[in-house]
Amino acid sequence: MKQCLIVVDPSFMSYQVDVAQALANAGRLMQEGGAHSVKLEGGEKIASTVARIVEAGILVMGHIGLTPQCRFMDWAVIESKAYSGSKQSN
């Protein structure tokens, strides 16, 4: 390949905790991982994070549709509630 765009999907909780950590991790992916861009999911909840990363000169991509990392968190909450409910009924 003569030209390609490397987009990295950061791992779970590497950008959701706070903006400073998200920026540091995105920068590290660029410097050490050879990424040209990072892909983030979370919609309006992470708008300030996306803005800060873009201000630092890092390209950010998002997507429309299924957001596996966010859905995992929703599923975990549902499972946790179901599990704790079943324990209480015993």
Does pTM top 0.85 for this prediction?
no
CB within 8 A of 8, min separation 6: which ones? Answer: 29, 33, 35, 37, 38, 39
Domain ranges of the chain: 7-64
**pLDDT, position 7:** 93
Instruction: Tell me the average pLDDT across 55-75.
Output: 72
**pLDDT, position 88:** 47
The predicted-structure confidence for 25-63, as pLDDT tens digits, reads as follows: 999 999 999 999 999 988 888 999 999 999 999 999 987
Q: Which two tokens stand for residue 7?
A: 């987009």
Share the mean pLDDT of the chain: 80
Q: How far apart are CA 61 and CA 26, in angstroms?
A: 12
